[in-house]
Amino acid sequence: MSKSSNQKTKLLHLCRMLLQQTDEDHPLTVAQIIEGLARQNIRAERKSVYDDLEALRQFGLDVQCRKGKSPGWFVGERDFELPEVKLLMDAVQSSRFLTQKKSDVLIRKLEGLASTHQAGQLQRQVYVSGRIKVMNESIYYNVDKLHTAIAGRKAITFKYFDYDIARKKVFRQEGKRYVVSPYGLIWNSENYYLVAFHHTHREMRHYRVDKMTEIVVACLAREGTEQYPNFQLAEYGQKHFGMYSGPEMKVTLRGRRDKAHLVWDRFGQDVILVPDGEDRFTVTLPVVISPQFFGWLMGLDGSVTLAGPKEAVGAYRRKLAAALEELP
């Protein structure tokens, strides 16, 4: 490329240089900027550099100048501040639904939101812990297909599998394809779940996204609106503890007033608690009765108890009795 052609990209190279190489603690002097442009075979004079810096500032880049012992020019405020990038990177690294390979790719891209000097701090954050990751590399693209189907109100087909002890896929339904209408995605217990209307069983069900494969967005229109005219994804997620299935019923919980936050943390701030004496409250909620629901109650150590209905209390007693029998 000739010099004249390079001159046309001068402003672009200057912008990239500032974003990549500068921050509040690492400014570049005009002499350093001229030297950096020269390495790109771009001629620059001091006055033209000042004019270009002002042009970038007027365009919206937060170009700042500092005088004193460490003078120079640098980018101040960015689209994402360093603490925000750290937060995003930690979220990527801690997400089970992303494989380690895909996490590394996303982290490298997130590093580009900060200067090269700040990237050193991000590197230290990335390798804090080796969290457990899923084995299904295609989940990243599965999510994209599911969003496409949800936005287009289309049905999908897919195969669903588990892993055996040798880490080999074992397909459910003998490998036959599921046909469902997606309604939304839920992040629960460190996993991504698709909530969808099952075309054969005519009811809402959910599926671990990392266990779905060969997803195809079909030409069929979404079904389930007649059976679920006012379906709320958030309510579905609240009812299913750990996204385990089971019979749904309204249960009454009784708890200590100082433990009200445990109910609000699980079911949301809109839940109405009814005073029951001086130091207790009751609340009636729709939940799916499952071992995970009983496990949640056990974990509260009696501060919140199951008061009804009889069917739910009886199931809870049987579960506790069975657990006692299994002890040596």
DSSP single-letter state for residue 28: B
Do 218 and 162 share a structural domain?
yes
Do 222 and 184 share a structural domain?
yes
Residue at 7 is within a domain: yes
Cβ-contact 266, 309 below 8 angstroms = no
Q: What CATH number is attached to the domain comprising 182?
A: 2.30.30
8 has pLDDT over 90? no
Residue at 183 is within a domain: yes
Residue 286's nearest CA partner among 250, 262, 322 is 250
Structure tokens at 87: 């937060």
Tell me whether strands 154-163 and 248-256 are parallel, antiparallel or unpaired: unpaired
Domain range for 119 is 82-126
| Residue 119: Cβ within 10 Å count | 18
For 107-146, how does the pLDDT look when each residue is reduced to its tens digit (9 = 90+)? 889 988 999 888 876 754 444 344 555 666 677 788 889 9
For 232-271, how does the pLDDT look when each residue is reduced to its tens digit (9 = 90+)? 998 888 888 767 788 889 999 999 988 998 888 888 878 8
Residue at 136 is within a domain: no
When divided into structural domains, the chain yields a total of 4
Entry pTM: 0.59
Percent of the chain with pLDDT over 90: 55
